[in-house]
Structure 1
Amino acid sequence: MKTKVLNTVVAGVLVAAGAQAQATVVSTNSVGGIFDGSSGTRTLSVTTHGTIQDLNLTIDFAKCDNNGADGPLLDANNRCIGRGNAFDSEIVFSLTGPNGQPVSLVQQGTFSNGNTPGLGRIQLTFDDEAVTTAGGKMRAGSYAPVQPLSVFDGLDMFGTWTLFVQDTRRGDPLQYFGASLDITIGTAAEVPEPGTVAIVGLGLIGMGALRRRRQV
């Protein structure tokens, strides 16, 4: 019985010592802009290397009706000033990795129209693990993108990531505020603490002693 318990303890220590840690790397872009029947790109730079285990992207923006008028789109509470429908179907988002692989997050027609007025400034998080897929009536929250971000899993995160932003028709501008790229990576196996190494060593010595006693 003692040998069995000791085996279990040592095995647990060895598993803990060899466990792989995780870390999250965040890259942001806050170069704002207004797109009205136009498109543009924003870059998010990752300056360290690491193998991607999971990747999520959050976009901070507003889609408002302004009937072609100049001036601000939002009031002091970040709500749309224009009271007409915001045509959310005009929104297009995509992300291209450093390897040149594009992933469509929102295609034209992904969202339906008819928010009266527009929602104002909101944040959408694109996450493969989200319960709901992007589409229908737009609301702030987490959504699975039109195409999976998992195509980046296993790749090196280092380099320039490019976010494509488009509003396909004039009259209901899309105002971009920023984006955040959240990447979970695996780090090197943790080095056991000296005390952990000592415990393992004592355990192995104890196992050897018990075996010798049984042989006598």
Structure 2
Amino acid sequence: MKTKVLKSVIASVLVAAGAHAQATVVASNSDGAIFDGSSGNRTLTVTSHGTIQDLNLTVDFAKCDNNGADGPLLDANNNCIGRGNSFDSEIVFSLTGPNGQPVSLVQKNTFSNGNTPGLGRIQLTFDDEASTAAGGKMRAGSYAPVQAPSVFDGLDMFGNWTLFVQDTRRGDPLQYFGAWLDITSGTVAEVPEPATVAIVGLGLIGMGALRRRRQV
């Protein structure tokens, strides 16, 4: 009976040691910029290790007609000031993992034009489990991207992730505000704390002592 109790305690300790097998890690970038017929990269750094089980990316931006002006794109309520077509077909987003693997989220002509005026500041979440595929007239919300981020599943999440942002033609700027990664992961080769190792060691010694007593 004592042996069963001791085994149960050891099993509980081992389960507790691996209790953090899943976690949601967030890496963000808020290096804002305006892209108008131009492009740039933004880095999102994940500082912990873990095997990727699911990955989503959210981009916070605005795409507005500026009527040829060089002033601000948005009013105080984050609505587009320009009242013309925002030409959302010019948007390009892609994500490259720490291993150099690129995934296209939005290609040129993924979204159609026709938002008059533009939507203003919005957030798009790219999730391969979303029910709506990226395309058609753009709205804020979740979309399944052009290529599935599931290609990253099973990889270590640690390192620098690169978001590529492009506005393919001048005249209707894309204003980038920020982006963040949500990663659900399992731990990679998690090493138990020294105290955990000591407890398990004492338990094994105790089990050995019980066996020897029974043999005498």
How many angstroms apart in 1 are the aligned matches of 2:42 and 2:20?
33
Displacement of 1:48: 1.4
Q: What are structure 1's unaligned runs of at least 5 residues?
A: 1-9, 195-216
Distance 1:26 1:19, change over 3 A: closer
Cα displacement string for residues 117-166 of structure 1 (whole angstroms, at most 9, x for unaligned residues): 00000000000110011110100001111000000000011111000000
Alpha-carbon distance in 2 for matches of 1:59, 1:125: 6
Q: Distance in 2 between matches of 1:148 and 1:95?
A: 11
**Cα offsets for 1:152-194 (capped at 9, x unmatched):** 0000111110000000001100000000011111135998xx9
The match for 1:167 is 167
Q: How does 1:192-207 map to 2 (within 5 A)?
A: none
State the shift of 1:68 in Å: 2.1
The TM-score with structure 2 as length reference comes to 0.79
In 2, the alpha carbon distance for the partners of 1:171 and 1:79 equals 17
Q: 1:83-98 residue pairs with structure 2 within 5 A?
A: 83-98=83-98
1:118-197 alignment to 2 at 5 Å?
Answer: 118-187=118-187, 188=190
Q: Which residue is equivalent to 2:68?
A: 68
1:21: Cα distance to partner? 3.1
Instruction: Output the TM-score relative to the length of structure 1.
Output: 0.79
Letter in 1 for 2:128: D
Question: Amino acid of the residue matched to residue 74 of structure 2?
Answer: L
Query: Which residue number corresponds to residue 44 of structure 2?
Result: 44
1:134 aligned partner, one-letter code: A
Root mean square deviation of aligned Cα? 2.6
| Unaligned 5+ runs, structure 2 | 1-7, 200-216
- 2:129 match: secondary structure: coil
Match of 2:203 in 1: none
Aligned to 1:110: 110
Give the drift of 1:47: 1.4
Deviations 1:84-109 (A, max 9, x none): 00100000000000110000000000
CA separation in 1, counterparts of 2:67 and 2:97?
36
In structure 2, what is the equivalent of residue 82 of structure 1? 82
Match of 1:31 in 2: 31
Give 1:208's aligned residue.
none
Instruction: Report the equivalent of 1:54.
Output: 54
